[in-house]
Structure 1
Amino acid sequence: MENSKPLIEIKNLKKYFPAKKSFFGKTISNVKAVDDVSFVVNKGETLGLVGESGCGKTTTGRTIIKLYEPTSGNIIYNGVDISKLSPSKMMPYRRKMQMIFQDPYASLDSRMTVGDIIGEPIDIHNLMKGKERQDRIQYLLNKVGLNKDHVNRYPHEFSGGQRQRIGIARALAVEPEFIVCDEPISALDVSIQAQVVNMLEDLQEDMGLTYLFIAHDLSMVKHISTKIGVMYLGKIVELAESNELYKNPLHPYTKALLSAIPIPDPDMAAKNTRIVLEGETPSPIDPAPGCRFKDRCKYATERCSEKEPKLKDLGGGHCTACHLYDK
């Protein structure tokens, strides 16, 4: 992947939601869901995004494909800044960027058949009609492990794993290049999760796909990801190659996350020291100055309350945002 070209470049991306308005309608406080996030995803790579619930992972994914309009920052797709494009000019990029949603039941229209669900994006982009359209739907069903008998059935007739396969087929319908996988396995049985992840890897290899893989399961993220970004309260606090992050975590928050991964070997588990974070996650509504992790960090100093650490490359593409590594 070293010679791969960037497909997605995110520069200083911000997404704020109004939390409180004045009597005259002026916003006086914001939920800073995504606050100055930057990273690059090369063609054919998978960037895993991990962190606690509410840290901004899903909002980051939705803002990148412009389901949410960014507050500021740049979203550069294959060299083109799409962050300020109008809806009509975004249409070609809508086809290139798709999303697999977390809840496979809520994301599928219960009144539509499987054939209509998968065929809808084909119709929206006017890609094909008639027999060619039907052949495409059949091809996609086969690709995700379903068959032609499923075309005229409705979502409620399927298991959770099968519904997620339908959602994946829908995302693939318009031949995208980049897919945001928003916790695609978290709502599935553990026995099905590995099947879906393996299928996503096979599809990536066959179709040359690039993924942003959002998840809570750190062991699964390591399995599928080329690089991993760790988010905390709207910020990326560490970013590195997958194996490097797991072997040599630098940020105190990353170390705490990795220490919580269950180890199946009882002897090894007994030797593992669990890092328990004190306190609660601060509110994302206009957070206090300085490092956002300072109230839960045992290494916090006065400087952490005064100055926000910047994401810094410490060598080999391993970046972290922590004053412990300031020189």
Structure 2
Amino acid sequence: MIDQQQESRNEIKQADTEVLIDVRGLKKYFPMERSLFGRTTKVLKAVDDVSFQIHRGETFGLVGESGCGKSTTGRSLIRLFDITAGEIYYDGRDLAAMSEKEMKPYRKRMQAIFQDPYSSLNPAMNVLQLISEPMEIHMNYNKAQRLDVVHELLNKVGMKKEHADRYPHEFSGGQRQRISIARSLAASPEFVLCDEPISALDVSVQAQVVNMLEDLQDEFGLTYLFIAHDLSMVRHISNRIGVMYLGKLVEVTSSEQLYRHPAHPYSQALLAAIPVPNPKVATADRWMLQGDLPSPLDEVVGCKFRLRCPFAVQRCAEEDPSLREVAPGHYVACHLHG
């Protein structure tokens, strides 16, 4: 019943929605070694030719192992990183081509919630100052108006107005994350990057924060890019999901389609690794992922996943697969479906 309700919610959100963010050929390389004359001799390809779209009002989930480029993709999208190549269209305008001055109006429209709430909150500022800061930069509010908004936002995230005078170290991890969420909403954004916002929290608190994010999305009409490791939680909150491996998208489809019919071997392995309450449940139709994630510094010819894939063939060693539509709205980068 819950799955049916979630699927219905996903279908409603995806129907007749316009594209808010259109990422085309995004690349972000970090120089790792330089020659005596300053020339870059080795680069880390954190994000390597990634393309996807996020529709207005939906939640697009991004999953994968640590080091696959999820967070770099998200931070590049909101221009916390200057990208190496590609285009990032936000509401029809290419953010990648903008100067910092041209970006300022878009900073208000795009906000972020980070993984560690304590490191993202200035310990020298109290809650009132932390949440007011975006309003001082982007909103023409006086002191009384800012105080009213802070109290309202604290109430929205399940905290009390007397918390406004306290400092980050006086709160638990879950409360600090609620403060981060309130701060991200202070400038009335349209899009919020949720960069693993629940991974540092207790399991019981994770569910509360995810439910709160859903309620806030419905109330304010927000669009999310939700990055996480917990695939079961990503399924709960996301309308569509992109699976990343070593800087590339290997599968993009709806949340329910990914969990019912995963097409890429890597997606199948990630789903097989999700703990189930009954250990006797048969998983004969799935296989467990073997080995460690290769170094992103290594140059792998062909499919990057072939070194861990039991279904790899000669073509996988020669040709890097591109995303192909194997079903309506279901894209896979795998030669098994080519």
Shorter-chain TM range is over 0.9
Query: What corresponds to 1:65 in structure 2?
Result: 78
Q: Give the letter aligned to residue 154 of structure 2.
A: L
Q: Give the letter aligned to residue 282 of structure 1.
A: P
Deviation of 1:282 after TM superposition, in Å, equals 1.7
Query: What corresponds to 1:2 in structure 2?
Result: 15
Q: Distance in 2 between matches of 1:271 and 1:281?
A: 23
| TM-score of the aligned structures, taking structure 1 as reference length | 0.97
Which aligned segments of 4 or more residues in structure 1 are displaced greater than 3 angstroms?
270-274
Query: What corresponds to 1:214 in structure 2?
Result: 227
Q: Distance in 1 between matches of 2:85 and 2:15?
A: 30
Q: Distance in 1 between matches of 2:104 and 2:97?
A: 13
The secondary structure found in structure 2 opposite 1:194 is: helix
How many residues align? The count is 325
How is 1:1-327 mapped onto 2 (pairs within 5 angstroms)? Answer: 1-268=14-281, 270-271=282-283, 275-285=287-297, 287-326=299-338
Structure 1 residues 290 and 271: CA distance shift in structure 2, 3 A? closer
Q: Give the letter aligned to residue 332 of structure 2.
A: T
Is the Cα–Cα contact under 8 Å of residues 139 and 187 in structure 2 kept in the other structure? no
Across the aligned residues of Structure 1 and Structure 2, the Cα RMSD in angstroms comes to 1.1
Deviation of 1:178 after TM superposition, in Å, equals 0.4
The secondary structure found in structure 2 opposite 1:74 is: strand
Q: Which whole-Å deviations, capped at 9, do the CAs of 1:30-67 have from their partners, x for residues lacking one?
A: 10000000000000100000000000000000000000
Q: Distance in 1 between matches of 2:70 and 2:246?
A: 9
Is the Cα–Cα contact under 8 Å of residues 30 and 286 in structure 1 kept in the other structure? no
Deviation of 1:126 after TM superposition, in Å, equals 3.8
Query: What corresponds to 2:6 in structure 1?
Result: none
Q: Distance in 2 between matches of 1:86 and 1:114?
A: 31
Q: Distance in 2 between matches of 1:245 and 1:45?
A: 16
Deviation of 1:147 after TM superposition, in Å, equals 1.0
Is the Cα–Cα contact under 8 Å of residues 29 and 286 in structure 1 kept in the other structure? no
Q: Distance in 2 between matches of 1:278 and 1:206?
A: 43
The secondary structure found in structure 1 opposite 2:20 is: strand
**5+ long unaligned stretches in structure 1:** none
The secondary structure found in structure 1 opposite 2:32 is: strand
Deviation of 1:287 after TM superposition, in Å, equals 2.2
Q: Which whole-Å deviations, capped at 9, do the CAs of 1:99-118 have from their partners, x for residues lacking one?
A: 00000111101110000000
Deviation of 1:73 after TM superposition, in Å, equals 0.4
| TM-score of the aligned structures, taking structure 2 as reference length | 0.94
Identity %: 58
Q: Which whole-Å deviations, capped at 9, do the CAs of 1:108-163 have from their partners, x for residues lacking one?
A: 01110000000011111243112111111111111111111101100000000000
Deviation of 1:170 after TM superposition, in Å, equals 0.5
The secondary structure found in structure 2 opposite 1:314 is: strand
